[in-house]
């Protein structure tokens, strides 16, 4: 009896282990399938977007000619003799993004340093949620603030600077500079959050060593901590550039929307705002050229991502070696 019961007991355990094993294998398998499916969904999205952009962006290139689109400065898609030159539009996006980065990145990085290193804990606890809130504000709100606060100020400035000028076209404050300022504010949360994480991730021993060698706190920050956080800060800049160049809603409200040379007090049109503002009524070649503008923007963002990552991170790694 006893032997028998022991036997059955053992058998039961064996069985239950086997059963658990089978179940485990099933869970493992299905989890793997789910993960693969999710990953392929993202890849599918990227591939199909790329394909779609190329397919819908290229017909106009053959129709109008690539140099005629990229290097012509006249944009009048609805005239009798339509011109589809987007050189000023491209330059506006480049200059606008560059200036926004020039203003936004230093402020962002220094704020990150402040939050991670300088600020008393209580103050940092107050500033941090404010920065996060900034990230959550919809872009159209930035645009509205731009219209009601920034543009009137810009208009006053414009009237003072160009008083009596016969050649300047007054635009009422809706200009490149307004768009740049709005963009600079919009990239702040991205730059601040990622830089701060990077700065906090710098090993304590680097800071300790620097301080122990007699460097002051500020020397430590600029000579040891920031160089050590370089890779993360580069990521912050790349994402900031991505946000600035891809933004449409906020700047379409404050930038004026005419195609002009990108000078600070000119009314300008960005790659994104050209697509956003004209897609509704465009038809025929005009519509197809708007898709080409989308393709140009797409290629642009890809190039910037690759180049910035290569150059900035590559030289960092070399220095590290």
Partner 1 sequence: MKQKDVKRMAGRREGRRGGRKQLLAITAALIMVIGCLAACGNAGNGEGGNGSGKESGGLTGSLSLVGSTSMQNLVDALSEAFMEEHEGVTVTPQYVGSSAGIEAVSKGTADIGNSSRNLKDSEKESGIVENIVAIDGIAVCLDPANTVTDLTKQQLTDIYTGKITNWSELGGSDMPIIVIGREAGSGTRSAFEELLGIEDACVYANELDNTGAVIARVAATPGSIGYASLDAIDESVISASLEGVAATAENIKAGTYFLSRPFVMATKGEISEQSELVRAWFDFVLGEEGQKIAANAGLLTVD
56 binds partner 1 (CB under 8 A): no
Touching partner 1, residues 192-251 (CB under 8 A): none
Structure tokens at 60: 């106009």
Interatomic CA distance for residues 198 and 36, integer angstroms: 30
- 256: which strand partners? 268
From residue 243 to residue 272, what is the string marking binding to partner 1 with x (rule CB under 8 A)? ---------xx--xxx--------x-x---
Query: Which of residues 40, 76, 216, 315 is near partner 1 by CB under 8 A?
Result: 76
Residue with smaller CB distance to partner 1, 189 or 262: 262
Closest approach, Cβ 315 to partner 1, in A, equals 42
Query: Which of residues 112, 174, 186, 194 is near partner 1 by CB under 8 A?
Result: 174
Angle between helices 87-113 and 230-246 (to 10 degrees): 140
Angle between helices 285-308 and 87-113 (to 10 degrees): 40
178 binds partner 1 (CB under 8 A): no
Interatomic CA distance for residues 36 and 59, integer angstroms: 35
| CB distance 251 to 268 below 8 Å | no
Q: What would the DSSP string read from start to end of 215-270?
A: --HHHIIIIIIHHHTHHHHHHHHHHHHHHHHH--HHHHHHSB-------TTS-B--
Structure tokens at 49: 């977007």
Closest approach, Cβ 245 to partner 1, in A, equals 20
Radius of gyration of the chain (CA): 28
Closest approach, Cβ 77 to partner 1, in A, equals 5
Region binding partner 1 by CB under 8 A among candidate stretches 36-44, 94-102, 195-203, 276-284: 276-284
Closest approach, Cβ 159 to partner 1, in A, equals 7
The count of residues interacting with partner 1 (CB under 8 A) is: 39
Interface residues toward partner 1, by CB under 8 A? 9, 12-13, 16, 75-80, 147-148, 151-152, 155, 159, 166, 169-174, 252-253, 256-258, 267, 269, 276-278, 280-283, 286-287
């Amino acid at each position: 009896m006893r032997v028998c019961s022991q036997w059955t007991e053992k058998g039961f355990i064996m069985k239950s282990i086997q059963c658990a094993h089978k179940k485990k294998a099933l869970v493992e398998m299905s989890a793997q399938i789910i993960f693969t499916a999710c990953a392929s969904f993202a890849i599918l999205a990227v591939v199909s977007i790329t394909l779609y952009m190329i397919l819908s962006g290229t017909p106009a290139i053959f129709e109008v000619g690539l140099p005629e689109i990229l290097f012509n400065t006249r944009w009048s898609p609805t005239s009798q003799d339509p011109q589809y030159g987007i050189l000023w539009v491209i330059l506006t996006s480049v200059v606008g993004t560059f200036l926004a980065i020039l203003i936004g990145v230093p402020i962002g990085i220094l704020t990150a340093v402040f939050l991670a290193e300088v600020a008393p804990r209580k103050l940092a606890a107050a500033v941090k949620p404010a920065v996060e809130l900034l990230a959550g504000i919809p872009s159209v709100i930035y645009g509205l603030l731009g219209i009601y606060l920034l543009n009137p100020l810009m208009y006053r400035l414009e009237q003072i600077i160009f008083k009596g000028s016969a050649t300047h076209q007054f635009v009422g404050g809706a200009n490149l500079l307004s768009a740049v300022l709005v963009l600079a504010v919009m990239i702040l949360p991205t730059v601040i959050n990622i830089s701060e994480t990077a700065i906090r991730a710098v090993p304590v021993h680097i800071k300790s060593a620097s301080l122990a060698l007699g460097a002051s706190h500020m020397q430590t920050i600029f000579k040891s901590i920031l160089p050590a956080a370089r890779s993360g800060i580069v990521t912050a800049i790349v994402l900031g550039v991505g946000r600035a160049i891809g933004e449409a809603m906020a700047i379409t409200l404050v930038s004026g929307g005419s195609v002009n040379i990108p000078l600070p007090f000119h009314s300008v049109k960005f790659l994104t705002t050209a697509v956003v503002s004209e897609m509704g009524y465009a038809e025929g070649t005009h519509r197809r050229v708007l898709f080409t503008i989308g393709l140009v923007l797409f290629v642009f963002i890809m190039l910037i991502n690759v180049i910035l990552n290569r150059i900035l991170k590559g030289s960092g790694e070399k220095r590290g070696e």
